[in-house]
Amino acid sequence: MTWLAALAALASIVGSARAIDGDTLRIGATRIRLYGIDAPELHQLCGRGSRRNPCGRTAADALGRAVEGRTVTCMPMDVDRYGRTVAVCRSAGRDVGEELVSRGLAVAYRRYSTRYVGTEDVAHTKRLGMWSDVFQPPAEFRALRRGDGARPGEAVSAPNPSCTIKGNVSSKGARIYHVPGGRDYAKVRIAPPKSERWFCSEAEAEAAGWRPAR
């Protein structure tokens, strides 16, 4: 990259914005990933049992309201592997990433930045948003689905040694989870094409809509 291109890359991106999900928006033709935060995926659920809630959609709606009808200014920080501009964005004078984290609708993306760790700590202490119940960190949620490209019927081992609970879909479509030591645990094979998956805890399995094996 020439110094002129590098200088251009640092220029602010300003305009009306549209939320794509809880941590991504678009200004014109530019897709922007909010720097330093990680929001739940659009289809991700949080909580457990009757308290399950569409936290991914809630985060996306909150980002949409934060930028809707306003001029948004984004300062590029990097470009991610998907070609998206990674930036700190402000709307009505507020850091929209910080606002989402402060409400418990996203977490600090510690792998890449500590910018919002203090904000997350406050939301956690106050049990706001996702912190009011159990939830799976978005990065873990994505990691557990990286085996979705497996061939039909292929058995897949747990991607995380700590996540050994098997989520099985029965022939009747029932979603049942099996814990190590259970009667049928050894016989169950995970087939991602059938939407079967691994869980790290029983709470996580129940929050996703699976019930325990009888």
Active-site residue set? 33, 41, 84
Compute the half-sphere exposure of residue 144: CA atoms within 13 Å on the CB side of its CA.
27
Q: What are phi and psi of 6, to 5 degrees?
A: -65, -40
What is the C-alpha separation between 17 and 115, in angstroms, rounded? Answer: 23
Residue whose C-alpha is closest to residue 51's, from 202, 209, 213, 179: 209
What is the C-alpha separation between 183 and 165, in angstroms, rounded? Answer: 13
Residue 13 is which amino acid? I
What is the C-alpha separation between 44 and 37, in angstroms, rounded? Answer: 16
